[in-house]
Amino acid sequence: MSDPANAGAKALFLKAAGIAGDFRARLGEHLHKPSRDYAASLDAFSGELPDFGPPMDEVLEDLAKRAEPGLHLMAGPRFFGWVIGGSHPIGVAADILTSAWSQNAGNHIATPSASAAETIAAGWMLDLLGLPPECSVGFVTGATIANFTCLAAARGAVLREHGWDPDSRGLFGAPPINVLIGDDAHTTVFSALQFLGLGHDRVQRIATDDEGRILREAMQRALETADGPLIVILQAGQINTGACDDFSALVPLAKARGAWVHIDGAFGLWAQASSQRQALTAGVERADSWATDGHKWLQTPYDCGYAIVRDEVAHRRAMTIAASFLPVSEGERDPSHYVPELSRRARGFATWAILRHLGRKGVADLVNRACASAKHIAAIVSKEPGIAVMNEVVLNQVVLRFGADLTADEADALTDRTIAAVQSQGVIFAGGALWHGMRVMRISVTNYQTDADQAGIAGQEIIRAYRAARSSTTD
């Protein structure tokens, strides 16, 4: 009864592992840019859908050949674009098994192992992040959906306190919710608010300082006039500067007004895992919910994020229907009760494997190494006249502006030319951003392989690109 497809599975998986291993072995040598753009990639993938296609091993080799030229080396040691984790090999290997095991990790009866791995990994994570052990954790696709999940719990809790259950009755006729959020919050938090019917524009944006941190007096004023259901959204790790809000001051202020306090800590919450960085996030554990990513600083493969909620019942009520939000059988976890999906990937295996491999000190080292590398890059480039480091490098993010001695328009243009020069060379990858009205280069050190040597190469490459852009006349 054995299917020929299954008979060939082992050889096929070994072939896939070989291709994957070869790709990873070349990470340090390859250019940090794709050699094929989108249009060329479309050409590479195009073709008629066949009635019956070639054998599996041919398709696999063909896929790799067509895909690899159009890949960015996001797992590479000198990829500094956006905030992108490197998919640690142990996580990838665990993820290969996860795919092969083919578990639909909706509930613990269907897949006891997947539920158990999540339970244990969740406990380890709360410990590492210094969050209350009673929190519930949903393993979601990323921080966007983690923010969504946490804010859904917040929405339900603050409205029920005012006699309205939005999870059963919806929002029409509900008392309006006041949402206070920092002016430099991540765009995906506004997306989450949009999905929740809270609107991305009806929130009250609170003024921030040069680093993107909420100004305490501005928050205090907003809190004084806010009445009714109230959600306050703070941030650990501003996307450009890496700065964290002053949780020790802001969380108690907001809680005193009865607010649900939510933290977007997509990458910055991991400062908690390092004794050298914890001061940045002091007081963060007093909030009500936290969103963070696995696929950024923790280096899990995509897609992986965590929705962490102090009040488990609020968390479950927001994500499940009927009476299933009531704690059922003590100690048995149904993963789907904490996330928007039913059928879902067993994300806990990769998280468990990474935490088990790195351990407490390994995660702290990962965080410290990235922060030290960011500081190293900033130190190298700041010696070059005309390059300005625009942020306090407190975490893993560096914001650079080129032509600090020129007019604002000239500096914008020179910054864009420097970014283009860096990208065309492909020794490193870094992208651009708009920061408080200025064009900047954003460096995010979020890869497990980036160390002092790689940071040194990056610093020199940025200077080289800047000099080339500065001496070129095309502006």
Contact 464, 384 (CB under 8 A): no
Nearest Cα to Cα of residue 230 among 184, 192, 262, 264: 262
Q: How far is the CB of 187 from ligand PLP (least distance, A)?
A: 8
Interface residue with ligand PLP among 91, 166, 229, 237 (CB under 6 A) is 237
- Smaller CB distance to ligand PLP: residue 293 or 311? 293
Contact 145, 305 (CB under 8 A): yes
Q: Looking at the DSSP assignment, which residues form a beta bridge with residue 461?
A: none
For 436, the 3-state DSSP assignment is coil
| Cα distances (Å, whole numbers) of residue 309 to 88, 135, 438 | 27, 5, 36
Using CB under 6 A as the binding rule, whether residue 184 contacts ligand PLP is answered as no
Interface residue with ligand PLP among 80, 267, 297, 325 (CB under 6 A) is 267
Q: Looking at the DSSP assignment, which residues form a beta bridge with residue 387?
A: 402
Contact 292, 244 (CB under 8 A): no
Contact 185, 218 (CB under 8 A): no
Q: How far is the CB of 238 from ligand PLP (least distance, A)?
A: 7
Residue nearest to ligand PLP (CB): 142
Please tell me the count of residues contacting ligand PLP according to CB under 6 A.
Answer: 13
Q: How far is the CB of 466 from ligand PLP (least distance, A)?
A: 26
Mark the segment that binds ligand PLP (CB under 6 A) among 139-147, 154-162, 411-419, 433-441. Answer: 139-147
- Smaller CB distance to ligand PLP: residue 317 or 347? 347
Q: How far is the CB of 329 from ligand PLP (least distance, A)?
A: 32
Q: Looking at the DSSP assignment, which residues form a beta bridge with residue 233?
A: 181, 262
d(CA 61, CA 16): 8
Using CB under 6 A as the binding rule, whether residue 299 contacts ligand PLP is answered as no
Looking up tokens 């990838």, which residue turns up?
92
Using CB under 6 A as the binding rule, whether residue 251 contacts ligand PLP is answered as no
Q: Specify the DSSP class assigned to residue 246.
A: -
- Smaller CB distance to ligand PLP: residue 159 or 394? 394
Interface residue with ligand PLP among 95, 184, 293, 311 (CB under 6 A) is 293
Interface residue with ligand PLP among 73, 75, 143, 263 (CB under 6 A) is 143
- The set of long-range contacts for 183-187, using a CB threshold of 8 Å and a minimum separation of 24, is 183/207, 183/208, 183/212, 183/214, 184/208, 184/212, 184/213, 184/235, 184/238, 184/240, 185/233, 185/235, 185/264, 186/143, 186/235, 186/239, 186/264, 186/266
Using CB under 6 A as the binding rule, whether residue 186 contacts ligand PLP is answered as yes
Using CB under 6 A as the binding rule, whether residue 142 contacts ligand PLP is answered as yes
Q: How far is the CB of 271 from ligand PLP (least distance, A)?
A: 13
Contacts of ligand PLP in 71-110 (CB under 6 A): 83
- Smaller CB distance to ligand PLP: residue 83 or 364? 83
- Tokens of residue 341, six digits: 């999906």
- Smaller CB distance to ligand PLP: residue 77 or 142? 142
- Smaller CB distance to ligand PLP: residue 142 or 459? 142
Contacts of ligand PLP in 387-446 (CB under 6 A): none
Nearest Cα to Cα of residue 457 among 381, 387, 389: 381
Using CB under 6 A as the binding rule, whether residue 305 contacts ligand PLP is answered as yes
| Cα distances (Å, whole numbers) of residue 152 to 147, 166, 206, 317, 429 | 8, 10, 21, 9, 36
Q: How far is the CB of 147 from ligand PLP (least distance, A)?
A: 6
Interface residue with ligand PLP among 125, 214, 243, 266 (CB under 6 A) is 266
Q: Which residues bind ligand PLP (CB under 6 A)?
A: 83, 142-144, 186, 188, 237, 239, 264, 266-267, 293, 305
